[in-house]
Amino acid sequence: MALSPPRFVHAAGRVIAMVVLAGCGADGVVDPSSSSSAAGTTGAPSTSTDTATATSDPTTTSSATEDGTTTMGDASWEVAFEADESLGALFSVWGPNAAVVYAVGGQQGEAGLSTGTMLVRSANAWASVALPDATPKLNWIHGAQTLRVAVGERGAILMRDGDDAATPWVTQSCATVLPLWGTWVGASDDVWAVGGDGFDRPPVLCHYDGLEWTNVELPELSIDAKALFKVFGLASDDVWAVGDAGLLLHYDGTAWEQVVVDTPADLISLWGNGPDELLAVGGRANGVLARYDGAAWTIEALAEAPGLNGVWMDGGGEAHVVGIGGTILALDPGSLAPTLELAPTILTLHAVWSPGDGSFIAVGGSLEMPPPLVGIIVEKN
């Protein structure tokens, strides 16, 4: 399918700048670039001293027509929360439903050290969550049934049963000190986590069986990949993982195997709604989309879009994708031709999620700038 690349436009007196730098790396921070967040009204969430910002003016959205032009229309992405330097950037968002939503991230420190942050949205307010001492920066969160799992730097794994604030998060380990970038919870006894340093050592693949975490041996790889960034499953015997240099793995319930795809680009994240509808996103200088139809993967390079970091797909196959420079794209089911939705920020967006009710939450921060990092949450209702 031919791609109608998004055109980047002026809206509400500001330029939607697309920064062509990496959105996610071995330490989550890359070379500095100009970035800023949308202005708004600042206040404090009810149970936290963190700063929250909301705007009342809607932004606009653009859609590509058949001749490749872009039209403007209404949209409702607004800044919902701004995390200051005490919290850092935000890398992942997920919740069991619309009433309870988690966002995780953290602050990059000196000598490779970092501190973790977790926020929870309850009663439409974001508040900090208490974490175990010395929790490093957290990169991803997911859950199923009552199990909640967050993973991060230095092989950090946090687990909790349920969403009661009085229940503490418990630190676990899968015998690695390398960063863990992603996790997928299929059930309380079936959890995968992936990671790697992105530079020197092989990717990390871990599994939890309800009792303990084990480090799983990788299949023989045809490429020199050094990290797996995300993992996503459709069933216990249909799990996918993506990583650097176009690394793509599939688990059939018995063994992992590499699936060769026609791209050398880093694949950062993936989501799907069935065995014949998956979408992986990535790229560094330019965005890359990879769609699976149950038989083969089709790759599209987006020459006019920057690197893409996060994706979420609804039950009908419509997907939202986020990336560097405040990029937000929407894709129709089965399509690789995105429509640009203008965000109220040019900070990098790293993840997007929806409870499935038509609303969306995306998180990110100043990832293209040196520490100290700041974070942002934008929402569309």
**What is the mean pLDDT for each group of 10 consecutive residues in the chain (381 residues)?**
33 31 36 32 32 33 36 68 98 98 96 95 96 98 98 98 97 97 98 97 98 97 98 98 98 98 98 97 96 98 96 98 98 97 96 97 97 98 93
Helix (H) or strand (E) holding 78: strand 77-83
Is residue 3 in a domain?
A: no
Is residue 26 in a domain?
A: yes
Residue 31 has phi, psi (to 5 degrees) of -55, 145
Domain that holds residue 354: 10-380
Is residue 90 in a domain?
A: yes
The secondary structure of 283-330 as a DSSP string is: -SSSEEEEEE-SS-EEEEEETTS--EEEEEE-TTS-EEEEEGGGEEEE
For residues 171 and 156, what is the distance between their CA atoms, to the nearest angstrom? 7
pTM as predicted: 0.84
Is residue 51 in a domain?
A: yes
Q: What is the pLDDT of residue 75?
A: 57
What's the N-to-C CA distance of the chain in angstroms? 30
**Residue 30 contacts residue 266 (beta carbons within 8 Å):** no
Is residue 5 in a domain?
A: no
Count: domains in the chain: 1
Is residue 1 in a domain?
A: no
Distances in whole angstroms, Cα of residue 218 to Cα of each of 207, 226, 259, 305, 375 = 12, 12, 13, 32, 34
Residue 204 has phi, psi (to 5 degrees) of -110, 135
For residues 75 and 72, what is the distance between their CA atoms, to the nearest angstrom? 9
Q: What is the pLDDT of residue 110?
A: 87
Domain with residue 215: its CATH number is: 2.130.10.10
Is residue 2 in a domain?
A: no
Q: Which two tokens stand for residue 118?
A: 């977790």
Is residue 76 in a domain?
A: yes
